[in-house]
Structure 1
């Protein structure tokens, strides 16, 4: 006997899955769009901290270190974002000051500090926490894993139900005879246009939350090779190494190297300069080459290219880039924002259709 699922059953699944995921899809699409443009929004909200006027020449990185040592001698160094590829942005250094994580903004063209603020006051971090875990920690990851599966199921059942008329939506368009017809046509058109994007978002998002659940269950497996650390970082007044020397040595060991980030030494007594080079694969991460130095001697230790990782590592990194949409600059952000708006439209029109059918 051949097993067959009727279209009526598929539509019922589609409807119930859509109801389960609807409100959360709306929430995730809005927070996702905000995260896409978080840097631009942050710069607009706090221009006095983040924005600088570019000049022909930048001060050396050691000038920044000297300024920080003079201003915050007892602060603990964590990391510095050089913003080399964003000449109109300040250099940002994270410090532990008076027991709190602070971000200090330095103008590389004037050698002046623009100011500082608590890391927790950066609105992007709050939005990211809501988007990734609903501020509920492990419980949030489990819940969003279920939401991700429901979204994936909703998209796939919708595609299957309308499989015979997928292309007709472009000729029929959106009819305005009544509320139900308008929302039904708009729902189908938006769904067809964005179905591949939604499968990508649901699939990669569900993958991330499953990884978190695996770790919660004690099934971490082999972790990606990274230079990890805890908060035993150096006090500024005791830092002896030269940042410019490290940046120069990093460039000598990696052809066409563009340094973007400095991770200061912690437990493993290593300082790490991260960035990109001419052969970097952007889908494997923003800063996918790491040059590692010994803290005491400032001697070069090794170069770690993300491209040299195993298949699982590269898949995880590429999924992360594909999910957050930063890899293609402004154009990928615009495309992802439109995809997010499609998800919002599907949630709203789907709810109206359900109400009208009750």
Structure 2
């Protein structure tokens, strides 16, 4: 091994020790989260409703129903319509009780389920994945920089693994299953690491984009070749000086407008900040249920429901489109079941790499110790035979 590779190996080993535990936890929770929609759909009947040939109830009615269960909830809940065959959800922040999801039939308003979201298994898994169950400000930094380290480990791992001779390449791409367990472990670390490397890098980089805003901005700027799109950066403000004499429900009018202008959308998520005079109501219209890539965004004046900002998917910059698909890529749902399976397997391999790496280090450490003992024993034996002190 060349001096350069020895230095790379030293750095690779110790960075692995530093970030290994976090990588294992983040990777395993990532595996669990990949199929969370499918698992929950199989377990919970309330996640499906019978499709009816009539329009959804307006958000004002859904909010009114939800507030009957928690009258002390904060004023501006999030309202989500998740598809024709799925319940509408009113997400209520309730003082002292936390966030509650009230699942309602979107056609009739019938109560289906009250979920304390902090007790949902997959939400707990997600919080471990994102923050290690630490306070978000601290946990996000630990996870984020551990993943930065992991990206460096993947790159240095490829440098260390890359076979020097062409004759070694075929052997390097296969696991020697009939070898000793240490050889199998060595191959699992190197060969599986190589095959998963490209997917692991994509998962890591999309995860970093979730953790760090500067990564998101960097991707946007890089894809847009440094060009700025003012329409995307515009921050709309409601006009509190021109309120109508007869109050209207801007949520309902805004929802109707979004439905008309995004006729192909299957999922709508609404949120607003009406506590502030300049706060607006925002509606995201997603073209496919439970997928977040392709969407139109509307911002409305909270007093008049006047559209203040409309950003259609086809008019978005390439950088914004890439960032919009970040979540779907990260959880593997960008191309459906095949990419979910790929993301699951890649995450599983990522979880194994720190473990197999430690076993390799431990085996080499013990091997060196045995060699030293054998050398000392041989020297002592030779001295006894020669009679020298």
Please state which band the TM-score falls in when normalised by the shorter chain. Answer: 0.7 to 0.9
Aligned to 2:62, which of 49, 64, 89? 64
Decide whether aligned partners of structure 1 residues 173 and 269 sit closer, same or farther in structure 2, where only a CA change above 3 A counts: closer
Confirm or deny: 8 A CA contact 1:59 1:111 kept in the other structure: no
Does residue 54 of the first structure (1) align with residue 54 of the second (2)?
Answer: no
CA distance in 1 between partners of 2:145 and 2:364 (Å): 26
Give the whole-Å Cα distance in 2 for the aligned partners of 1:299 and 1:228: 11
- What residue number does 1:246 align with? 254
**CA pair 147-125 structure 1, distance change in 2 beyond 3 A:** same
Q: Does the Cα contact within 8 Å between 2:76 and 2:272 map onto a contact in 1?
A: yes
CA distance change for structure 1 residues 5 and 61 in 2, over 3 Å: closer, same or farther?
Answer: farther
Cα distance in 2 between the residues matched to 1:140 and 1:228: 32
Structure 2 CA distance for aligned equivalents of residues 208 and 288 of structure 1: 18
Q: Please, which moves more after superposition, 114-123 or 151-160?
A: 114-123
Aligned residue in 1 for 2:356: 349
For 1:169, the equivalent position in structure 2 comes to 172
> In the alignment, does 2:310 pair up with 1:303?
yes
2:338 to 331, 342, 345: 331
- Give the distance between the partners of 1:352 and 1:335, measured in 2 at CA: 26
**Residue in structure 2 matched with residue 103 of structure 1 by the alignment:** 101
Query: Is 2:91–2:99's contact at 8 Å kept on the other side of the alignment?
Result: yes
Q: Unaligned stretches of 5+ in structure 1?
A: 215-221, 230-238
| Whole-angstrom CA distance in 2 between matches of 1:176 and 1:299 | 70
Pair 1:261 & 2:269 matched: yes
TM-score in terms of structure 1 length? 0.77
Alpha-carbon spacing, 1:206–1:72, altered in 2? closer, same or farther (3 Å): closer
Where does residue 78 of structure 1 map in the other structure?
77
What corresponds to 2:90 in structure 1?
93
CA RMSD of aligned residues (A): 3.6
Equivalent positions of 1:114-263 (< 5 A) are 114-134=112-132, 135-164=134-163, 165=168, 168-170=171-173, 172-211=174-213, 225=233, 240-241=248-249, 245-254=253-262, 256-263=264-271
| Alpha-carbon offset, residue 95 of structure 1 | 1.9
Question: 3-state DSSP class of the match of 1:94?
Answer: strand
Query: Which residue of structure 1 aligns with residue 280 of structure 2?
Result: 270
Question: Aligned equivalents of 1:203 and 1:104: distance in 2?
Answer: 34
The residue that corresponds to 2:16 in the other structure is 18
For 1:68 and 1:332, the matched residues in 2 are separated by 37
Is the 1:141–1:212 Cα contact (8 Å) retained in structure 2? no
Q: Is 1:41 aligned to residue 43 of structure 2? A: no
TM-score by length of 2: 0.71
Distance 1:287 1:81 in 2: 16
Check conservation: 1:138, 1:213, Cα contact below 8 A.
no
